[in-house]
Structure 1
């Protein structure tokens, strides 16, 4: 006989408990803390699966979240990575409408505001702007609500400029996971994160993990509490976030997750547990008042390190990414020029397509090299699409301009237009392939004056003696062009500069570089003006270091790759090129089945050594460091980060950088330094003097690592297994060595790196009449400390007869307050503005001269009062077209009223600046 009596269910973590029990009073002994339970579904669109699988999983995961909302009225879902929403919008309109309804209710909360969760170290600064530009504008256009909380739960580190970028995109807080408490000196869970310009966000490090198993959340909660800073998670009225939901391959919160939260909330096991969102949590924290907020710690540094092997894994994706970023930025500039100058429609949709391919492939398991091998076929194709779109836009723009240039007929000659994509004047060597000139050529400028040149090797290996190659010096104005002409036959063009070359010496009037014939590396780099030799007698055997590398793809738990290594054997040294313009020495090395070719190039008029590298790598589970030893004493190290720079210890740690690293100290008491600039490489170390490294401080570049694709420790490799290893085959990159007299700013590495990685473009032209002069500039930042990083059309269509509005973004690069002078002959404007140290500012310059220049945020939303601007003088175009001409003064200065948020970071007394009458 069954007992009909039924006792009530006691507080217990297990046992048969009916669903949807009503809330009960928690025990009086419940800990006095509130846990904001953040239901989410981290979804890697690419990782151990291709993007097509991530595409489908986004739809499945989001339907699951909608179903949980139908079942549990208190359930809140947090979503980031806007690309996932865009996939659902285009593939499942019914689901997308459900999401829109839940957003309006406040139960579906979009955070992050970025297209994907990217790697946060290696993309260029402009890429981080575009992550938010496209992400936030998508959210505003579909839901009417942008994100106000930044979120990158899975990337492996976070550069120090992000707080300024986040604030410029309308986000006041930031949520992340890595580095964990064991991986850095970052102790607090909740803190202010401050960028070099003074911008701050309230940052929260997710305790333990961003996702959970599908069952009960007790283990997730306990481990999260164990990882929390005790000042956040413990004590009276403590409050913290705990993330739950199945992740990585999506999935999201489960019924078991949600039921267990309700159960443990009734039991009072961990405190008050409430379904919540990061926005709700940060609002609660911000509402605690100034005394509490002022007491929070302040972090003024990167958030590093996790998985340092990702800075070097898969050289291909690093090179494709940088190439695509540069291409799209160039396309924007030239498209904006012909839109404003010629009324050509600005190709917004094409550029958006290109940018979204670039941004997607910055995802933190693509760009770091940690995805499966087939994913890189997709990445190559997608980035190739971005480059192809960009090249079509650039080619059209250049031809729109070229047909308007006055090119006088001169029979037997070949006109060549050289286009400079940089908003400052450049003096560079141009390699040009020509045809139909059996007697060879010499080069003159637009006035017929001889230009320094020398013959080079043609890329065409044929019997056609009329084809050839020439390299000549081009001096091209800022974001502009210059006309040159190839004339038949030998001609004048000899350069001064004392340029000489032998197998053991490269020398000009600026430097003398000795090459050790035993090691094939530099044994002396003497700067004649100062008498300082930063590489006097260094150990050339340290230049190449090959190590067996048994670390996994990510480099988990690696601190440094700066270990003693095997030296590549010197094969031969050959003088490949000598002439009035430049000299070139080829150094060939080999090790195992691999070869390394470095071609050392010294121009007649520069102290900088440029090196073009061809590496044919055939080693598995090995790495190659290129090391640059110096004789500097008491050195300090400076690394380029997106939009800025950062000092780091000289300790041999594997660190990320954009394009350059500097080592500065003294030589015999004299201030001196060496900057190493690279293309496509992001993994560096700066090592102190030690017996392992020749007793010399040095800069190291991890040129290649070849781990197994997507191999994650602690999985052990089968000695008899068959695996695919990364970076097998040929890769090419370049670097420069720039000695200086003690301040890296003298070397101007930021602009040098941009020119090295983004060369000018030369195109052959025909004879025709035109209204444009043979030399012309459309925009210039003057090469000052304030660098124009973007010149583009506005995101909102503004085309009208007479031109288009233009967006100009600039950043202060020296870490010092400065004043900009941005000349825009394209629109007849000059912008003069004060910049704080490392400050980033964006302006919209209307095509209509009566409309004022206005400052906007990084989403191109209005910011503060309009910026008044002076028109350029009537002869500004002509002045800017001559590289040596002095800049013309504007009729009146350009000032602006800064927003309170900006000026409060500098001097409160400057919150109102004078504004002259509109011209």
Structure 2
């Protein structure tokens, strides 16, 4: 006898074909109705709120009086919530974002009394290979999914690359297979239940099957209990129960018993499109969404979280030496603020949001969320780095001699590295020329340009207006700036105040305290009737320099040393004719190009087509705009790199589909090539024009004969001491219905490629699987990636790193293999059903003109030739996505050493993925994964001694104590692909020096 589990539920897309607020009002109606049904009908036993807890926050914001009622139903098991915060697209968010998602979902569920212990992931478009290990890290031993599988049975083991397994309860007929039941017609209800059971029972070894009574935004049927009772009495041979997912999987486990060990094992990611739409085009729909998300995740994971945790520990009371020079404007307990930034960001991670497959308004409303995450992340990062710089010993050592200032350079990756860093210095006019030197007095390569000062305020006030304005200055701070100098003079009945303000550091307290006394005297002087205020920014010099040997996840202090005292300062005020450069620089910043990158035209030499450094030579000599790269360490020569390819797209936001009669456009017309060389970098600038069809023809079978010019600017940079070719591309898109990619052909012959994945490196074949017309969606060669993709023949290889460009194809060619990186895919419809590579609609057929991606867009990626395989290059790819930062500092005594690592790691290819404050308590969390192919003995050493180190689950539940070495190291054996979370607590007073 089979057991048919009727599971009442809804799948809630928070924003999709309607914006959030319109869907929220429908959510209020649904939850109101569900609570009423639970209250009046004890026969309606259970309802599942889609496995995500954000719906509770959204509902209770409008119905706060119903929280206790909801909590009572959750505790009793009638209303099921969790384990997720939102249902994300797993491939388009970072692995740490998935962990944060489950942490937040668990936190909310705990507030209501119970978390559903099933990894319910019904609708996201495919599943990452490490999901079983992630779920087990939260105490979840069963997964329940729909997409990515095909003809597998209803029960099997799903295994991660490290060997972690969860029981898979495969929703073979979908998460809405019983949505068509009509509870107001009991006889039809009975007939359909029999049909559903007959479709599933033959594929179940346990004889327990799930009838998922719900679908997108569906409310529970009030007649459910009546129809269920009617059917249960008449259903012969099988048993129908009103059930839940936990009860369903519990029934499977009890029925199978010892037979569970013999279930089929499926390992790794799930990306089949045979039975269910995979919808791979979402990887490139609205690419700006992916880029914004990548930037926010990197900001939180690489900067705000680890460095705010460090700054909090370093400045805490009881730390040896005390926070002597710590600025007093740092935010206390920043971890809570970072958590709020994560909550904002995860609202963009729901699959219809991050995938770019919603109406235009939905994605327009995502922009301010991304902006708010950046605002929080940048402020927390700036304060944290400033606090650490203020706590650091920055007095120049004897080898340096006289110094006027310090620069603290921070490295966010978990290994030592070198990088080119930019910082604006406020160097006094008495300094003249200067060098930047390390702690041994060795001069570093440097480029600089004087930015001068700018007038901020020039106004004349009467007595009351001046008194009011002075009241806006608090302890030397005004309008977000810090007072550095204040001169007060009287000229008859007029008082003149000259003020120097800085956006950096802290106020000059002595200057303010001395000046404010004179100001108060002038306010009391009846003979003074007008007050002239002239405020300027301090003189600044923008410096770019080569920062070498930066410690792992740490910092190094460099020094500004006068070269010849008394010479005129390089930092002079901008002349009147150059004032227009200031707003231009702000505009370039919004476009993602720094003022240094734009430079001045006279720095560029027309006709300079070759640049090189100690590792690479790049030539821009081809008429099609492609590049030739020579890699000096391996002798590898690559031609035709960075070639643009454009093709038509008759698909929608979910799927790419080329027109049947299409002509590829390869390469562009080169309009100009310029180059420039400096002490720290050499660069090329290519300006091209792509002549593209304007849009699809009316029949959508080909592109139009009408053409448009699409301007493209390519910036190529080689940095001194860095084995990498960095590329920035700006496209002014004026075409519609097309996909723009950039190609990297190689002579390397291979049948597989390696992709940066989620807590793993994923090997994938370069050829499509066998398929036929029975598939609901044709397989596509484009694959997801995170930071990089790599092809190698074992002796040499090519890696392409990226910032927020998740779609890539690796394909065999006549001469080797080629990487095709998608920059943008431009379509005008949410969903269509008139193209051949997908059966039926994937959503409502609504127009989405914003998905055509009009206007200017900036893309960043890097070319990394290398010896061997991906293990020889992946660290350079991570360095590209996480550049170092620098903070100017005064010369002062500090209890932190002048160079230190927050966490140093040694052993194999262990990659640190998180350093953060614990969710509960005060422990420091360090998490990482062994990317290598063999076990690794890993040594992890924090910047200070901790008395205790515990191995923990991903949810930070301690598992066991690790022994600590006398030097404070923790040592652990890590399996290939194993994710390890450590909790460091009980700090001693010893800081490493």
TM over 0.5, shorter chain: yes
1:331 aligns with 2:459: no
When the two structures are superposed, what TM-score results if normalisation uses the length of structure 1? 0.79
Q: Is the 8 A contact 2:201 2:208 kept in 1?
A: no
Give 1:336-351 correspondences, 5 Å limit: 336-343=309-316, 345-351=332-338
- Which stretch shows the higher mean deviation, 501-510 or 33-42? 501-510
Q: Quote the Cα distance in structure 2 between the aligned partners of 1:611 and 1:521.
A: 12
Instruction: State the Cα deviation string for residues 2-21 of structure 1 (Å, max 9, x = none).
Output: xxxxxxxxxxxxxxxxxxxx
Residue number in structure 1 paired with 2:895: 771
Residue number in structure 2 paired with 1:636: 752
Q: How many residues align?
A: 790
Q: 1:141 to 1:732 in 2, by over 3 A?
A: same
Counterpart secondary structure, 1:595: strand
Tell me how far 1:347 sits from its aligned partner.
2.5
Of residues 397, 410, 423, the one that matches 2:414 is 423
- Which stretch shows the higher mean deviation, 199-208 or 711-720? 711-720
Q: Quote the Cα distance in structure 1 between the aligned partners of 2:645 and 2:254.
A: 55
Instruction: State the Cα deviation string for residues 543-596 of structure 1 (Å, max 9, x = none).
Output: 21111111111117x699999721242324534321343211112222234222
Instruction: State the Cα deviation string for residues 288-330 of structure 1 (Å, max 9, x = none).
Output: 3454212322111211151111101112211221122122222
Q: Quote the Cα distance in structure 1 between the aligned partners of 2:811 and 2:939.
A: 39
1:78 aligns with 2:51: no
Give 1:626-775 correspondences, 5 Å limit: 626-651=742-767, 653-665=781-793, 671-689=795-813, 695-708=815-828, 710-713=830-833, 723-747=849-873, 749=874, 751-775=875-899
Of residues 557, 562, 586, the one that matches 1:483 is 557
Q: Is the 8 A contact 2:207 2:252 kept in 1?
A: no
Counterpart secondary structure, 1:253: coil
1:128 aligns with 2:98: yes
Residue number in structure 1 paired with 2:936: 818
Tell me how far 1:871 sits from its aligned partner.
4.0
Q: 1:459 to 1:318 in 2, by over 3 A?
A: farther
Q: 1:453 to 1:562 in 2, by over 3 A?
A: farther
1:278 aligns with 2:245: yes
Q: Quote the Cα distance in structure 2 between the aligned partners of 1:458 and 1:616.
A: 29
Give 1:520-539 correspondences, 5 Å limit: 520-523=625-628, 525-533=629-637, 535=638, 538-539=639-640
Q: Is the 8 A contact 1:628 1:700 kept in 2?
A: yes
Counterpart secondary structure, 2:353: coil
Residue number in structure 2 paired with 1:858: 954
Q: 1:167 to 1:740 in 2, by over 3 A?
A: same
Q: Is the 8 A contact 2:799 2:870 kept in 1?
A: yes
Q: Quote the Cα distance in structure 1 between the aligned partners of 2:65 and 2:789.
A: 51
Q: 1:178 to 1:717 in 2, by over 3 A?
A: closer
Q: Quote the Cα distance in structure 2 between the aligned partners of 1:230 and 1:347.
A: 55
Tell me how far 1:269 sits from its aligned partner.
7.6
Of residues 437, 445, 457, the one that matches 1:444 is 437
Q: 1:255 to 1:719 in 2, by over 3 A?
A: closer
Residue number in structure 2 paired with 1:309: 281
Tell me how far 1:779 sits from its aligned partner.
1.7
Q: Quote the Cα distance in structure 1 between the aligned partners of 2:659 and 2:904.
A: 41
Q: Is the 8 A contact 1:418 1:481 kept in 2?
A: yes
Instruction: State the Cα deviation string for residues 443-477 of structure 1 (Å, max 9, x = none).
Output: 22234320012347979999999755332111321
Q: Is the 8 A contact 1:39 1:252 kept in 2?
A: no
Q: 1:716 to 1:680 in 2, by over 3 A?
A: closer
Residue number in structure 2 paired with 1:595: 711
1:872 aligns with 2:967: yes
Instruction: State the Cα deviation string for residues 453-510 of structure 1 (Å, max 9, x = none).
Output: 234797999999975533211132122222223456799xxxxxxxx99744333443
Tell me how far 1:72 sits from its aligned partner.
4.6
Q: Is the 8 A contact 1:149 1:172 kept in 2?
A: yes
Give 1:239-388 correspondences, 5 Å limit: 239-245=208-214, 247-248=215-216, 250-268=217-235, 271-305=238-272, 306-329=278-301, 330-343=303-316, 345-388=332-375
Q: 1:229 to 1:196 in 2, by over 3 A?
A: farther
Q: Is the 8 A contact 2:359 2:846 kept in 1?
A: no
Of residues 547, 550, 555, the one that matches 1:474 is 547
Q: 1:760 to 1:68 in 2, by over 3 A?
A: same
Q: Is the 8 A contact 2:286 2:851 kept in 1?
A: no
Counterpart secondary structure, 2:633: coil
Q: Is the 8 A contact 2:130 2:758 kept in 1?
A: yes
Q: 1:517 to 1:470 in 2, by over 3 A?
A: farther
Q: Is the 8 A contact 1:88 1:96 kept in 2?
A: no
Residue number in structure 2 paired with 1:549: 649
Q: Is the 8 A contact 2:404 2:891 kept in 1?
A: no
Q: Quote the Cα distance in structure 1 between the aligned partners of 2:803 and 2:194.
A: 46
1:403 aligns with 2:390: yes
When the two structures are superposed, what TM-score results if normalisation uses the length of structure 2? 0.73
Residue number in structure 1 paired with 2:88: 118
Q: 1:403 to 1:531 in 2, by over 3 A?
A: closer
Residue number in structure 2 paired with 1:55: 24
Q: Quote the Cα distance in structure 2 between the aligned partners of 1:905 and 1:469.
A: 44
Q: Is the 8 A contact 1:354 1:389 kept in 2?
A: yes
Q: Quote the Cα distance in structure 2 between the aligned partners of 1:285 and 1:130.
A: 30
Q: 1:770 to 1:286 in 2, by over 3 A?
A: same
Consecutive unaligned residues in structure 2, runs of 5 or more: 184-188, 273-277, 318-331, 456-535, 566-604, 691-707, 768-779, 834-839, 980-989
Q: Quote the Cα distance in structure 1 between the aligned partners of 2:248 and 2:48.
A: 12
Q: Is the 8 A contact 2:74 2:112 kept in 1?
A: no
Q: Quote the Cα distance in structure 2 between the aligned partners of 1:375 and 1:716.
A: 17
Of residues 137, 142, 146, the one that matches 2:112 is 142
Give 1:777-856 correspondences, 5 Å limit: 777-782=901-906, 784-798=908-922, 805-826=923-944, 828-829=945-946, 849=947, 852-856=948-952
Counterpart secondary structure, 1:688: strand
Q: Quote the Cα distance in structure 1 between the aligned partners of 2:117 and 2:136.
A: 9
Q: Quote the Cα distance in structure 2 between the aligned partners of 1:403 and 1:561.
A: 63
Of residues 179, 185, 189, the one that matches 2:154 is 189
Q: Quote the Cα distance in structure 2 between the aligned partners of 1:296 and 1:88.
A: 41
Counterpart secondary structure, 2:932: coil
Q: 1:429 to 1:722 in 2, by over 3 A?
A: closer
Tell me how far 1:905 sits from its aligned partner.
10
